[in-house]
Amino acid sequence: MLPVPTGARVWLATGPTDMRKGFPGLSLLVQETLKKDPHRGHLFVFRGKRGDLIKIIWHDGQGACLFSKRLERGRFIWPTPVGGVVTVSPAQLGYLLEGIDWRAPQKTWRPELAG
């Protein structure tokens, strides 16, 4: 799991992104398309056209971070393109990174965790 700093927001860029881009290219997308500042400590998440690869950029105050994850099977659940950007909670980002439908996660009862 990626630790999300307190107070940081998580932004999903709707629509497909060219996954050949690194931090400079994705930062430019954040500024021009999402109208946000990529150096403010927020996380910006992008998904490729096939849906099996995401990249996350984050500036931690000392430098630029670029994280990527590719699913071996399936696709990341992504919002429909409305307005270009969607904000999610850090918990929803955790579900997304695990390949779980972050829009409606299912609580499962596990007997070994029951009191």
Q: For strand 64-70 and strand 85-88, is the pairing parallel, antiparallel, or unpaired?
A: unpaired
pLDDT at residue number 19 = 95
Measured distance CA(94)–CA(71) in Å, rounded: 14
pLDDT at residue number 101 = 77
pLDDT at residue number 1 = 59
Measured distance CA(33)–CA(46) in Å, rounded: 12
Q: For strand 43-47 and strand 53-59, is the pairing parallel, antiparallel, or unpaired?
A: antiparallel
Q: pLDDT, tens digit, for every residue of 57-75?
A: 999 889 999 999 999 988 8
Measured distance CA(51)–CA(78) in Å, rounded: 8
pLDDT at residue number 11 = 93
Q: For strand 10-16 and strand 85-88, is the pairing parallel, antiparallel, or unpaired?
A: antiparallel
